[in-house]
Chain A
Amino acid sequence: MLDLIYTIITGVFIGSIYGLIALGFVIINKSTGVLNVAQGSLVMIGAFICLLFSVQIGVPFFLAVILTLIVSFFLGMLLDRVLFRPMIGQPHMGVLMMTFGLLWLLDGMVVFVWGADNYAFPKVLPSAALFIAGMRFTHELLWSFIVATVLMVALLLFFRYSRTGVDMRAVADDQQAAQAAGVPVKFNYSVAWGIGTVVASAGGILLGVVTFVFYGLGMIGMKVLPVVILGGLDSIPGAIIAGILVGVLENLAGSYVEPYIKGIKEVAPFFILMIILLIKPHGLFGQERIERI
């Protein structure tokens, strides 16, 4: 019984990071309509930028994190300006392929610069494990859960109360009406990409703290795709809940099905994805669009 609870709780912790990354995806999709397959690569590049600052340049870790987030904001704006603004009005497949191109580009660049080695962030948390009610947790996992939750709440508040957040929701709702009402649509696109990239980087840093900083972070970041499908492509609470759900299900599969079917833990999210697509393609909270001919 304790095992089960422990599995579920660690699943929630990891899932909160997935949820955070998925939130970045949903923000970009909601406001710009781009389905960013390269979100996993943005996660990876965020972790590596932080590595660059904290280890290779030697800035204190927390300062390095803040610097990373600032850099990723501008990186996101740059991506929007250079790659995605020319694609406005192009067919969906083209925009999707653009994100694939971005994926190759970022993956290639990371391996080009840093190789396929494992790196670690400097230790800032005590390495002794924490025992709560007889269950063993690492500080890293606990802290990343807290940080992910704080970030998610901050984002929700940002969308609820700040001027830019409200603007972005307006653009997401009806681009033309928002433009007519004086909302700077292009600027909002850039900001959405900036925020999406910042969130991805934050997720990357958290994943890097929990595991390593390595090339495979992009693959872990890819799990955002099952998450957003489960939660619905345009639902912010959906992304958070689905992130946690996928984390828990993956952990449960790893503990209870793994002995019978080898390798199930890694594919579990994709099985979930397949089942969701068959049963409820628009996800738990997604908006179902009615099409006209």
Chain B
Amino acid sequence: MYLPCGVFNENYRTDMRVVRHREHWFLGLVVALVLLYLILFANDYYLGLANLIGITLISAFGLQILTGFAGQLSIAQAAFMAVGAYASAILTEDIGLSFWLAVPCASLCAGLAGILFGWPSLRIKGFYLIMATFAAQFIIMYFIGTTFSRWTGGYGGHVAPPPNFFGYEIDNERSWFVLIFILVIVGNFFFLNMKRTKMGRAFVALRDNDLAAEVTGLNLARYKLAAFFLCCLYAGVAGALYAHWQQIVMPEGFSLDKSMFYLGYLIVGGVGSIPGVYFGVIIIILLEELLVVGIGSLSATYPAASSYIAPAQNIVFGLVIVLFLVFEPRGLAHRWEVFKTYYRSWPFPYVATQK
């Protein structure tokens, strides 16, 4: 971690502080102003887009813990979100629990599902683990779609009522924006110093060399399952938010494509980096939206154009992933680091030792 000249770690408290120096204050101010602007002046369209980004961010945080920190690959993130979404929808609509209780319960459900399907990770890794989560995606979605359709409503979907905050109904984009971004900040906060905790260090050791980690006395099974649990907690919260935000849950919203997209966000942003999550999610979702708007504007002249939106998104997304892997496998987060180094050593760039 590069710090500008004159910033020292004198004790653990300064080491752990979130805001360290002038640039951090500046960036924080910019982010706060953007958020404030969105809350006060943006219209529903932009707020909706921001809400989608926020929910995706929460889920991507979870995957970053699992994949970026603990090195376990998962392509079932959308299915775990679905568990959270359906659990929350059923708890609020059918059982009558309050939203504020249902969301923690739902995220716990998703976490337990994560432990269940993360179980194979105790014996396998890499491609085999991808396959286990791949199976999890199909099994969970088929159970939700057909086997348990009595409770979940099957492919027709299930209603999720909007939450109520002391008599104030959260059902418009603006109030959702506030709720979602409070949760994004909380979620980010929890994993900000993750790498410094005992668990975080264990995860990194596990990622870098699991055999060596085991030899040094790390309980691999415990930490692997913990990583899956944490990842799915985030996924569960994101899924529940998505359900109540949309006010209806459909199995189509949590397909295999969506799951794979989450890995794509990390690739574009940078695996194992916190700013990387923001870069990946924001840039890809904006790119997709740009395609929707671009092709949508064509459909005024060519009515058939709108049916090309989904495949065009796939093509562009695939291209972005492929190009990133060929030209910048470390993701945008690495570019960001390079930029920061350049900025700090500006008049004398040859002084900086670029990693």
Residues of A within 8 A of B (CB): 35, 37, 83, 86-87, 90, 92-94, 96-98, 100-112, 115, 225-226, 229, 233, 261-263, 266-267, 270-271, 273-274, 277-278, 281, 291, 293
Which residue of A is nearest B307, CB measured? A115
Do A105 and B127 have beta carbons less than 8 Å apart? no
Looking at B12-20, B26-34, B53-61, B118-126, the stretch in contact with chain A turns out to be B118-126
**B185 in contact (CB, < 8 A):** no
Looking at B104-112, B142-150, B190-198, B273-281, the stretch in contact with chain A turns out to be B142-150
A104 interface neighbour in B119, B138, B139, B321, Cβ under 8 Å: B321
Chain A residues in 8 Å Cβ range of B126: 92
| A240 vs B313: C-alpha distance when bound (angstroms) | 36
Do A293 and B142 have beta carbons less than 8 Å apart? no
| A115 vs B306: C-alpha distance when bound (angstroms) | 12
Chain A residues in 8 Å Cβ range of B260: 100, 103-104
**B170 in contact (CB, < 8 A):** no
**B237 in contact (CB, < 8 A):** no
Q: Can you identify 23 A-B contacts, CB atoms within 8 angstroms?
A: A35-B127, A83-B326, A87-B325, A87-B326, A92-B126, A96-B130, A98-B321, A98-B325, A101-B319, A102-B318, A102-B322, A103-B318, A104-B314, A108-B318, A109-B311, A110-B311, A112-B308, A225-B134, A267-B139, A267-B142, A274-B135, A277-B120, A281-B123
The 6 closest A-B pairs by CB, nearest first: A108-B314, A104-B318, A105-B318, A263-B146, A101-B321, A108-B315
Question: Taking the nearest CB of chain B, how far is it from the CB of A268, in angstroms?
Answer: 10
Do A277 and B128 have beta carbons less than 8 Å apart? yes
A293 interface neighbour in B139, B209, B264, Cβ under 8 Å: B209
4 further A-B contacts with Cβ under 8 Å, apart from A83-B326, A104-B264, A225-B131, are A97-B321, A103-B318, A263-B142, A293-B211
Which residue of B is nearest A98, CB measured? B325
| A263 vs B308: C-alpha distance when bound (angstroms) | 30
Do B124 and A104 have beta carbons less than 8 Å apart? no
| A278 vs B322: C-alpha distance when bound (angstroms) | 32
| A262 vs B119: C-alpha distance when bound (angstroms) | 25
The tally of residues in B whose CB lies under 8 Å from a CB in A reads 48
Which of B120, B142, B264, B319: most chain A CB closer than 10 A?
B142
Assuming the contacts A93-B73, A104-B260, A270-B135, asked whether A112 and B315 have C-beta atoms less than 8 A apart, the reply is yes
| A238 vs B73: C-alpha distance when bound (angstroms) | 25
Do B135 and A293 have beta carbons less than 8 Å apart? no
Assuming the contacts A94-B325, A270-B139, A277-B131, asked whether A109 and B307 have C-beta atoms less than 8 A apart, the reply is no
| A97 vs B145: C-alpha distance when bound (angstroms) | 28
Which B257-272 residues have C-beta < 8 A from chain A? 257, 260, 263-264, 267, 271
